Amino acid sequence: MSTTSRPRPGRSASDRHPAPRTAVVVGAGMVGLATAWHLQEQGVEVTVVDREGVAAGSSWGNAGWLTPGMAMPLADPSLWTYGPRALLDPAAPLHVPVRFDPRLWSFFARFMAHATQRRWDRAMAALTPIDRVALDAFDELAAGGSLGHGVEAGTTPGPFTVAFEHAREARPFLRELEHVAAAGQTVPVRRVEAGERAYQLTDRVSTVYALEGQRFLEPGPYVHALADSVRARGGTILTGLDVLDVEPGRLGACVFARAVHPDAARHPALVGAGASDGPGVTDGVGPHAGAPRRAGSPADREEGVVLRGDAVVLATGAWLPSLAAPLGVRTRVQAGRGYSFTVKTDEPVDTPIYLPARRVACTPYQGRFRIAGTMEFRGPDEPLQPRRIEAILASVRHLFQGVDLDDRHDEWVGSRPVTPDGLPLVGATRTRGVYVAGGHGMWGMVLGPATGRALAHLVTTGETPDEIRPFDPLR
């Protein structure tokens, strides 16, 4: 459960912060939809807007791991061992393309500056409160809350198989878990004997552990089920709308968007609403959303639509800076691109397999085996780089058997939103009524529901739950 700071004497936070009746959530991934779901729990009418569609970003092709015991800062001291390789070797698990890009290099310098044990420990302590409630938040979505219509997609418990070619490679992984435990989490791990090993591992794998207490899911289908739940509870999801700007309005905030699909602006939730700010116009969303009109100043906005809500939440992942930076969110968010594909296996795979030394995560997925890996710092909209998939294949081919690595389907690249300090950005911006939820790095899937629950509490009461207090987006 969320915990909040003790209210100060005088008026309560809710007295000073009237609860919104309506909200617009920009972004239909795990974080945005979970926030919308929990705003509905608080009695808020929600509309979710996305340029592409539900789970169109990094919520689709990731490994689907719900591993709060591994949700830790990305910038760790080991970066100084292999970080320089990232600049020279395009096959390295962490890769930064060598090119003239001052913003990218500025981010990478700040990212590396956080790769010290002291800063890692501090960030881990900040992540631990939300890590500890992460799995309970999935159970709440399944139960349906006060409105019913729970998420009709399940999560599956582990154990996770953690495999190493050489015994010495396990030491950094076990040391990380010791630091996670020191920060306040319980992460059960045990050595696996030869008879318990996953069939897919070859004899080249010398050391295997089982990580307990974690879960996994099929990410795309789960997020679509979450979207179905939001709709069943009365929410509206609009796709094909590219949000250009967010500004304070006469009441609440205004979201200016343009249709990137011919049918988007003709959606029944948009057409027929009031087209002026005169009496009787509802500053709301859903059936009372602003009608298609010019998207206001600046003058270069194309003909578009205006959505208005008492509150607006920006949950656009790696694309967050374009909307959030003008609102005072100065922390850099860089696309940390991960790759995945699915393959056929001779024998069914029941549980995930993790190869920490190769930075590769594998998960059962719709009768196949999803293999995911790498961290590539590039622009979020740059095309898939086949060389990165080839690098994953080269790193694991000798460790797998009964896995047809040449029969690949669903090759994918997704842009995960990475911050230099490894902490998400969750909370209010400098613009009244506008909030952000992003910057989770690789952990948006596991931390999304807990993030949405905590942020919905802040939006509706003005009180910041302890589990998101370290994630102030104005830090």
Q: Are 158 and 351 in contact (CB under 8 A)?
A: yes
Note the pLDDT of residue 378.
Answer: 94
* Class in CATH terms, 22-238+315-468: alpha beta
CA distance 52 to 410: 18
- State the CB neighbour count (10 A cutoff) for residue 136: 13
Q: Quote the pLDDT of residue 249.
A: 82
Radius of gyration (Cα) for the chain, nearest Å?
A: 22
Greatest alpha-carbon pair distance for the chain in Å reads 75
Q: DSSP code of 417?
A: E
Residue closest to 220 by CA, chosen among 29, 431, 46: 29
Q: What's the confidence (pLDDT) of residue 237?
A: 97
- The residue type of 26 is V
Return the DSSP state at 465. B
* Residue ranges covered by each domain of the chain: 22-238+315-468
Dihedral pair phi/psi, residue 307, rounded to 5°: -110, 135
pLDDT at position 87, please?
66
pTM here is: 0.90
Predicted local distance difference test score (pLDDT) of residue 84? 67
| Cα–Cα distance for residue pair 112/100, rounded to 1 Å | 18
Which residues are 161's β-sheet partners?
210, 353
**Helix intervals (H) in 325-443:** 386-396
Q: How many C-beta neighbours within 10 Å does residue 300 have?
A: 7
Let me know: does 417 contact 443? Beta carbons within 8 Å. Answer: no
Residue 15, pLDDT score:
55
pLDDT at 80: 80
> How many other CB atoms are found less than 10 A from the CB of residue 309?
30
Q: CA angle, corner 213, sides to 212 and 216, nearest 5?
A: 95
The pLDDT of residue 196 is 84
Interatomic CA distance for residues 360 and 109, integer angstroms: 25
Predicted local distance difference test score (pLDDT) of residue 407: 95
Give the model's pLDDT for residue 384: 97
Q: Say whether 71 sits in a helix, a strand or coil.
A: coil
Tell me: the pLDDT tens digits for 275-286? 333 322 233 333
Cβ(364)–Cβ(352) under 8 Å?
yes
Query: Residue ranges of the chain with pLDDT lower than 70?
Result: 1-16, 82-87, 262-303
CB 263, CB 239: distance < 8 Å: no
Q: Is the dihedral of CA 307, 310, 315, 321 positive or negative?
A: positive
**Counts of helices then strands in the chain (DSSP H, E):** 10, 22
